Structure formats: C-alpha cells, structure tokens
C-alpha cells in the first residue's frame, strides 16, 4: 500500500543493542512512531553483528508506520578492520596507529560507494583516505 512519507532518517547505532535512549528515542519519538517496534526489529535484524555499528535508514510514513533498511558498516569500521587496529588515534595529527594501501582504500570506497553519493570512485576514495587520516591511519601509495 502506497503511503505519504514524512521523513527519512539515518541512525548509526550499535547492532543488536538499540534502546529507547538517544538517538533512537530522540529521533523517532517526535514522529509519533512506537520506538519499541523499531528497536525490536532492528535488534532482531542485527543480532548477528553485535559489537559493530550498523547504520539504519528509517522511512517514516504519515500514518506513523515505518520501514527500515540496514546499510553498509561505517567507513571507520572498515578502515580499522583493513588496518588491523582496534581503535583510531585520539591524536591523529601526531600519533599514527596504522596504515592502508591505496588498494585497500579503493576496496573500502567501492563498498561504501552507495552511501557516499560520490560522483565517481576517485571522489569516494578521497573521502575514505581523508577519514582514515583523521583516525591516525596513513595511506601508502
């Protein structure tokens, strides 16, 4: 059944661990949708990925129903995984914690391409490389 959309929001939250606390409650509550319904659905869908951030895009309709789709993991998670590090640097300008090859940057850019809305892969790679540097991860040629 076709319905009028009120809003589409993207949340980056912990897989399998959504709660009514922000950002879920603060984002969905004002639209009058039952956040517990979303929480149950999201936690069920992402139960196997606990420990990761799994972005979710929620479409809210004017009858206060909603649908949601989960998205690709954040670039930071993909960068950490590729660089073999547990966390980014707290002082990335002075402390480097890992490195990526340009081939790894390209692979992450390809994975993230649908969510970056970049014009081409080069632009997506520039975003991924910048994100990596902001975490203290250097890029090798």
Partner 1 sequence: MRWAEILVEVQAESCEAVTAILLEIGCKGVAQKLEPIAANGQWPVAEPHVPAARMPKPHEVTLLTGYLPVSDELGPAVDIARERLSRLAEYGLSAPESVTLRTVEDADWATEWKKHFKPLRIGKRLVIKPTWETWESAPGDVVVEIDPGMAFGTGGHGTTRLCLLLLDELVQPGWTVADIGTGSGILSLAAARLGASKVHATDIDLLPRKVSRQNVGASGLDSVVTVHEMADFDAAAVECNLVVANIIADAIIEIAPSVLPRLLPGGIFVSSGIIDDRVDDVVCALMSTGFQVVDVREDEAWRAVVARKPIVAD
Half-sphere exposure of 36 (CA within 13 A, CB side): 0
Q: What distance in Å separates the CA atoms of residue 22 and residue 60, rounded to the nearest whole number?
A: 17
Residue 94 binds to partner 1 (criterion: CB under 8 A): no
- Name which of residues 111 to 140 contact partner 1 (CB under 8 A): 112, 115-119, 123, 126-131, 133-135
DSSP reduced 3-state for 68: strand
Q: Which of 9, 57, 59, 64 is nearest to 31 (CA)?
A: 64
Q: Which of 79, 89, 81 is nearest to 128 (CA)?
A: 79
Binding mask 29-48 for partner 1 (x = CB under 8 A): xx-xxxxxx-xxx-xxx-x-
Residue 28 binds to partner 1 (criterion: CB under 8 A): yes
Residues of the shown chain interacting with partner 1 in the complex, contacts defined by CB under 8 A: 1-14, 20-30, 32-37, 39-41, 43-45, 47, 53, 57, 59, 61, 64, 67, 69, 74-76, 87-88, 90, 92-93, 112, 115-119, 123, 126-131, 133-135
């Amino acid at each position: 059944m076709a319905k009028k959309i009120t809003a589409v929001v993207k949340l980056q939250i912990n897989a399998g661990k959504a709660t009514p606390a922000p950002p879920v409650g603060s984002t969905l509550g004002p639209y009058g949708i039952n956040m517990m319904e979303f929480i149950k659905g999201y936690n069920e869908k992402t139960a196997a990925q606990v420990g990761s951030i799994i972005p979710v895009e929620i479409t809210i309709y004017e009858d206060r129903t909603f649908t949601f789709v989960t998205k690709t993991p954040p670039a930071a998670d993909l960068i950490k995984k590729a660089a073999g590090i547990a966390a980014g640097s707290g002082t990335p300008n002075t402390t480097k914690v890992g490195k990526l090859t340009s081939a790894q940057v390209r692979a992450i850019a390809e994975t993230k391409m649908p969510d970056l809305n970049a014009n081409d892969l080069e632009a997506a790679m520039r975003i991924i490389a910048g994100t990596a540097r902001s975490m203290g991860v250097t890029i090798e040629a």
